[in-house]
């Protein structure tokens, strides 16, 4: 599975192409070099054999008749007079050519069976590495001479040494692996950056380093991020400005409405105006949640819950802090606080009460806000995060709201690198959880949640 993933990645494919390409061309180059080496060795051996025969003929040419006879019968030099009993296999053209270059015209070599040569002398060790030729030539006094010549023919086997191939293969594979990683890593960085950009437009720009193409891509990406940020800032500022500026005339309108004499009409108009003001407030809040660039800071989850619960319990509805976790996280404090405040406000609005708890499992903190209200139908769990979406149930529509609370809460959770999950509790009511993972540690003071609860 891991291998399949690797080979379908860009790095894996580059690795295969590099490995096959370099290994293939290295194998071809080495085979050609090996063939050339064999050809050179064969050539050198032929030249040496031709030299030996030439030297022998020169000595025999100048020697006295007695010495010549002795030289020809002796065979110590690996050359002696032919007996005529040799089994001739056929003319040896390469040796004949070499001999004609060294000795001159009129000399000829024929290959003979090794076993039919030097029958009187003991066979040399490694007999199979020797060959035998019958060479016929003419001495300067006109004597036609036929010689038995024994020569070395052993050659290295063709093919490459397996150990050499192993070392070469390992070296090339390592290099190909590193090169493929180097080539693919900027692409991976770019895709990670693009994914992170969707969550946080304020993320640090990509480092502009490396080869020209990578630097160019990073520069283009950073320019795109800056442009996107400026568009968003421009539009949210516009939204914030419009909603903000509308508040003053609306307040004036509210005051003027008091003067309407028909009391039924007045109260309807005041209700409508209240809805409009809520819409504006939420719109402003939504704009702010898009814009937030509050820095991350370490904070104690328990202290944060204290503050949130405290602020929310201002009215008559109870907010209970049911469990503490005794842990710290890294978060954007105000954004997280507003996110939880929205969840608590929903619990109070639709469930009549809110039970807040925090727990730590592995490296994750779950902050849960639970109520005892009607909950949300399972098929609407995702829809309630859409802007301006409200359930149509009579209970929900009886409560005032715009339909932005959960949208804002989700946005603020994402700003904290957290997730929001909703579920209907088995014992009734809705449970909203914020799952936080960034910089989770146990608090130094409250290492044990039990102790923390007791305090």
Ligand X SMILES: Nc1ncnc2c1ncn2[C@@H]1O[C@H](COP(=O)(O)OP(=O)(O)OP(=O)(O)O)[C@@H](O)[C@H]1O
Closest approach of Cβ 289 to ligand X, in Å?
12
Q: Are 296 and 332 a contacting pair, CB within 8 Å?
A: yes
> CA nearest 404: which of 313, 248, 253, 289?
289
Question: 6 touches which of Mg ion, ligand X, none (CB within 5 to 8 A by kind)?
Answer: none
Which span (18-26, 98-106, 197-205, 384-392) binds ligand X, by CB under 6 A? Answer: 384-392
- State the DSSP H helix or E strand holding residue 369, giving kind and residue range, or none if neither: strand 364-370
Identify what 376 binds: ligand X, Mg ion, none; CB under 5 to 8 Å per kind.
Answer: ligand X
- Give buried/exposed letters for 254-288 (b at 16+ CB in 10 A, else e): eeeeeeeeeeeeeeebeeeeeeebebbebbbbbbb
Interface map 202-241 toward ligand X (x if CB under 6 A): ----------------------------------------
What is the sign, positive or negative, of the torsion defined by CA atoms of 259, 264, 268, 274?
positive
Residue number, 353 or 359, with CB nearest to ligand X: 353
φ, ψ for residue 268, nearest 5 deg: -65, -45
Contact 50, 103 (CB under 8 A): yes
Taking the least distance from each CB to ligand X, the nearer of 177 and 389 is: 389
Based on the shown chain and the rule CB under 6 A, indicate whether residue 376 belongs to the binding site for ligand X: yes
354 interacts with ligand X by CB under 6 A? no
SS3 422: strand
384 part of the interface to ligand X, by CB under 6 A: yes
The correct pick among 99, 391, 411, 412 for binding ligand X (CB under 6 A) is: 391
Q: Is 371 in the site for ligand X (CB under 6 A)?
A: yes
Angle at 277 between CA 276 and CA 279, to 5 degrees: 65
Taking the complex as a whole, the smallest distance from the CB of residue 353 to ligand X amounts, in Å, to 11
Question: Closest by alpha carbon to 448, among 326, 342, 366?
Answer: 326
> Which residue among 103, 402, 418, 452 contacts ligand X (CB under 6 A)?
402
Q: Which is nearer to ligand X, 243 or 407 (CB)?
A: 407
CA distance 11 to 17: 10
Residue 436 binding result from ligand X, Mg ion, none, given CB thresholds of 5 to 8 Å by partner type: none
Read off the tokens for 382: 């995702």
Q: Please, which of residues 261-290 interact with ligand X by CB under 6 A?
A: 282
What is the total count of residues that contact Mg ion (CB under 5 A)?
Answer: 2
Q: Which residues bind ligand X (CB under 6 A)?
A: 282, 346-347, 350-351, 371, 373-376, 384, 389-391, 396, 401-407, 430
Q: Which residues bind Mg ion (CB under 5 A)?
A: 346, 405
């Amino acid at each position: 599975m891991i291998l399949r993933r690797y080979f379908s990645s860009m790095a894996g494919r580059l690795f295969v192409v590099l490995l096959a390409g370099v290994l293939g061309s290295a194998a071809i180059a080495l085979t050609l070099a090996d063939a050339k080496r064999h050809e050179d060795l064969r050539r050198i051996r032929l030249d040496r054999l031709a030299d030996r025969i030439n030297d022998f003929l020169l000595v025999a040419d100048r020697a006295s008749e007695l010495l010549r006879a002795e030289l020809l019968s002796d065979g110590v030099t690996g050359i002696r007079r032919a007996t005529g009993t040799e089994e001739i296999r056929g003319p040896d053209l390469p040796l004949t050519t070499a001999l004609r270059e060294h000795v001159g015209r009129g000399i000829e070599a024929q290959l003979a069976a090794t076993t039919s040569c030097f029958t009187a002398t003991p066979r040399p060790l490694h007999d199979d590495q020797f060959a035998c030729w019958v060479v016929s030539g003419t001495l300067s006094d006109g004597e036609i001479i036929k010689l038995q010549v024994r020569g070395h023919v052993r050659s290295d086997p063709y093919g490459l040494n397996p150990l050499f191939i192993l070392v070469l293969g390992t070296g090339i594979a390592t290099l190909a692996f590193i090169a493929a990683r180097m080539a693919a890593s900027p692409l991976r960085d770019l895709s990670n950056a693009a994914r992170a950009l969707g969550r946080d437009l304020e993320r640090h720009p990509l480092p502009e380093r490396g080869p020209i193409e990578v630097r160019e891509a990073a520069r283009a990406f950073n320019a795109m991020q800056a442009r996107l940020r400026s568009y968003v800032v421009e539009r949210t500022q516009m939204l914030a400005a419009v909603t903000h500026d509308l508040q003053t005339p609306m307040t004036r309108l509210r005051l003027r409405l008091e003067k309407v004499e028909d009391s039924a009409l007045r109260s309807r108009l005041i209700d409508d105006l209240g809805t409009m003001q809520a819409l504006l407030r939420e719109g402003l809040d939504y704009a702010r949640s898009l814009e937030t660039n509050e820095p991350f800071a370490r904070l104690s989850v328990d202290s944060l819950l204290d503050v949130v619960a405290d602020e929310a319990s201002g009215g008559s509805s109870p907010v209970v802090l049911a469990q503490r976790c005794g842990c710290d996280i890294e978060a954007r404090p105000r954004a997280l606080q507003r996110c939880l405040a929205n969840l608590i406000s929903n619990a109070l609005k639709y469930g009549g009460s809110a039970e807040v708890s925090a727990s730590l499992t592995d490296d994750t903190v779950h902050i849960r806000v639970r109520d005892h209200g009607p909950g949300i139908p399972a098929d609407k769990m995702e829809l309630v995060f859409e802007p301006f979406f409200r359930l149509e149930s009579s209970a929900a529509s009886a409560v005032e709201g715009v339909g932005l609370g959960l949208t804002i809460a989700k946005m603020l959770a994402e700003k904290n690198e957290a997730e929001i999950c909703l579920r209907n509790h088995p014992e009734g009511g809705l449970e909203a959880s914020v799952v936080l993972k960034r910089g989770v540690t146990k608090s130094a003071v409250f290492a044990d949640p039990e102790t923390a609860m007791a305090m």
